């Protein structure tokens, strides 16, 4: 199984809502990532979890809250978002060590904040 599964595929939420994005992989990868991508821009790293611990937080606003309940799951909790947070949110995973560190991506969650 080389899939990274993200749910939901699409999400529309109001600025006062609380929602969560979910990501799951069963490849035994110990690094998991959240990226944000706006149109015609490169994916921007938000968070990295390594061995279930947060290792990189790219100065992301606190209205985005990541969680890694176990080695297969990664969540992104959303609260009080702004319309400019509308974007494609991609989850990825990779092996923690070694040169073959290519990332395996999910299909993304298209988020619209209204």
Binding-site ranges for another protein (CB under 8 A): 4, 31, 33, 40-43, 45, 48, 50, 55-56, 90, 94, 96, 99-108
Minimum CB–partner distance for residue 79 and another protein (Å): 26
Comparing CB distances to another protein, the nearer of 9 and 18 is: 9
Q: Tell me how far apart the alpha carbons of residues 47 and 32 are, in angstroms, rounded to a whole number.
A: 8
The pair of three-digit structure tokens given for residue 77, joined into one six-digit string: 């909790």
Minimum CB–partner distance for residue 75 and another protein (Å): 18
Comparing CB distances to another protein, the nearer of 66 and 108 is: 108
Minimum CB–partner distance for residue 62 and another protein (Å): 21
Omega of the bond prior to 9 within 30 degrees of 0, cis?
Answer: no
Comparing CB distances to another protein, the nearer of 85 and 109 is: 109
Q: Tell me how far apart the alpha carbons of residues 35 and 48 are, in angstroms, rounded to a whole number.
A: 9
Comparing CB distances to another protein, the nearer of 79 and 104 is: 104
């Amino acid at each position: 199984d080389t899939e990274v599964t993200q749910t939901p595929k699409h999400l529309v939420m109001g600025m006062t809502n609380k929602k969560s994005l979910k990501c799951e992989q069963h490849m035994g990868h110990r690094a998991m990532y959240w990226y944000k991508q706006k149109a015609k821009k490169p994916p921007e790293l938000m968070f990295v979890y390594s061995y279930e611990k947060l290792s990189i937080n790219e100065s992301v606003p606190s209205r985005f809250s990541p969680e890694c309940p176990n080695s297969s799951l990664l969540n992104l909790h959303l609260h009080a978002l702004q319309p400019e947070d509308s974007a494609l949110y991609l989850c990825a995973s990779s092996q923690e060590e070694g040169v073959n560190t290519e990332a395996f991506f999910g299909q993304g969650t298209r988020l619209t904040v209204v």
